[in-house]
A and B are shown apart, each in its own frame.
Chain A
Amino acid sequence: MNRSAEVSDITIIGGGPVGLFTAFYAGLRQMSVKIIESLPQLGGQLSALYPEKYIYDIAGFPKVRAQELVDNLVEQMNQFETTICLGETVMEVLKEHDGVFKLTTNSGVHYSRTIIITAGNGAFQARKMEIESEEKFQNQNIHYFVQNMNQFQGKKVALFGGGDSAVDWALMLEPIAEKASIIHRRDKFRAHEHSVELLKQSKVNCLTPYVPVELVGDEKVEKVIIKHSKTGELEELEVDDVLINYGFVSSLGPIKDWSLEIDKNSVVVNSKMETNIEGIYAVGDICTYEGKVKLIASGFGEAPVAVSSAKVLIDPTAKMQPLHSTSVMGEAEEVPKKAKVGVN
């Protein structure tokens, strides 16, 4: 296959709010765009950590719910074609002899003329249970994300966690699963009172205060052994699937190894959002420069600068200063709305 056919103008690493706006802006400047996101969903911290919280410092929004902002950004981005690769973490970035970047992820390879890093605080990953047997069943019947609850129809499911989304998952599982158990290490759930009340009234088997000790099975988990936090008493649960909802952890991870200039866990950029490597830009919380303010609002301001810098690098005849969107979008009405989404 001819590699040039698959080379994007811009590959955006990180599908948080700033990444989404960067993708839109790249579309506006008629560049081909791909987003690579480590989580199986877009929205970054906003969707993963606080989808229901209100944000008050986005220009033009007196207040906006975090997930609503993400939904709007996705809608804005979808005015142009964007390739979205979910569940992929970029491990390595290499510049090839012709200047094209080769991005190797945990599941594939992508080529791009330029890269804009919008990775916030680094790649988010689901927090693990951290018990020895967890690794063994990693790609079997242990789930950290649920795309479709119906896959648990008629199953015996053990769900670990005690926060809002764990309780919500338990309530969604109740009518579908043959038996849904929620295991939390303390008696009190860290969820909205209303949800906890619904949980108590439901048929969900609430096992508290218990902690996981071992996952047992040949090819997949067949039973889980849990221990009472106070008495130490062990109990066995037969399971078809195990769901783990222990929140997220983020880390800069492999970005540190790409020969970028890093200062205090942030990528150093100049006023054109250029890093020390030509063709790689950084915007949003991951970048730093004198006077940097880590806010979504600043990231939104930095995105057009990085995109325009990348545009000029690829096409030296292009102007750094873009046309106003009012002019561009009038011409772009015929552009088909679509996004290609892939989840690994």
Chain B
Amino acid sequence: MAQYTMVERSTCIACGACNPVAPELFDYTADGFAFALLDDNEGVTEVPEDLIEDLEDAFEGCPTNSIKMADTPFSCQKIKAS
């Protein structure tokens, strides 16, 4: 099933856990906060099949649950800050 991802910026704590496990999916802005690389954190680009396991690692490893995963593009959803 297609997967989409984005980072909830309001809860990201810039801990640096996501990039090492999913370097092709997440990077950090100059101030250290994470964003999804595929589409500049829009969450509308399908994550390639071979990166799904990396995505799951980053999703599970995020200490503030800021990495969001969904099977529909995020433009179709409302993200509620947790």
Q: Chain A residues in contact with chain B, CB under 8 A?
A: 45, 48-50, 53, 120-121, 124, 127, 162-163, 186, 188, 190, 246-250, 264-265, 285
Q: Give Cα A204–Cα B16 distance, bound, in whole angstroms.
A: 29
Q: Give Cα A250–Cα B11 distance, bound, in whole angstroms.
A: 10
Known pairs A50-B16, A186-B53; A121 contacts B60 (CB<8 A)? no
Chain A nearest CB, measured from B29 CB (Å) = 13
Contact B21 A190 (CB under 8 A): yes
Q: Tell which of B11, B61, B63, B65 touches A265, judged by Cβ atoms closer than 8 Å.
A: B11
Contact A249 B21 (CB under 8 A): no
Residue B75 interfacial (CB < 8 Å) = no
**Interface majority SS (helix, strand, loop, mixed), chain B:** loop
Contact B13 A50 (CB under 8 A): no
Contact A45 B15 (CB under 8 A): yes
Residue B17 interfacial (CB < 8 Å) = yes
Chain B nearest CB, measured from A17 CB (Å) = 13
Chain B nearest CB, measured from A70 CB (Å) = 15
Q: Chain B residues in contact with chain A, CB under 8 A?
A: 10-11, 13, 15-17, 20-21, 53, 56-57, 60-61, 63-65, 81
Chain A nearest CB, measured from B81 CB (Å) = 8
List 30 A-B pairs, Cβ < 8 Å: A45-B13, A48-B63, A49-B15, A49-B17, A49-B63, A50-B15, A50-B17, A120-B13, A121-B13, A121-B63, A121-B64, A124-B63, A127-B60, A163-B21, A163-B61, A186-B57, A188-B53, A190-B21, A190-B57, A247-B17, A247-B60, A247-B61, A247-B63, A248-B63, A249-B63, A249-B64, A249-B65, A250-B63, A264-B10, A264-B81
Query: B56 to chain A: which residues have CB within 8 Å?
Result: 186
Q: Give Cα A45–Cα B32 distance, bound, in whole angstroms.
A: 14
Contact A246 B64 (CB under 8 A): no
Chain B nearest CB, measured from A86 CB (Å) = 19
Q: State the 9 A-B residue pairs at the shortest beta-carbon distance, nearest first.
A: A49-B15, A190-B21, A248-B63, A121-B13, A186-B53, A247-B61, A250-B63, A249-B63, A50-B16
Query: B57 to chain A: which residues have CB within 8 Å?
Result: 162, 186, 190
Query: B17 to chain A: which residues have CB within 8 Å?
Result: 49-50, 247
Contact A190 B20 (CB under 8 A): yes
Given pairs A186-B57, A265-B11, 17 additional interface contacts (CB within 8 A)? A48-B63, A49-B16, A49-B17, A50-B15, A50-B16, A50-B17, A120-B13, A127-B60, A163-B21, A186-B53, A188-B53, A190-B21, A247-B17, A247-B60, A247-B63, A250-B63, A264-B81
Query: A264 to chain B: which residues have CB within 8 Å?
Result: 10, 81
Chain B nearest CB, measured from A305 CB (Å) = 23
Chain A nearest CB, measured from B1 CB (Å) = 16
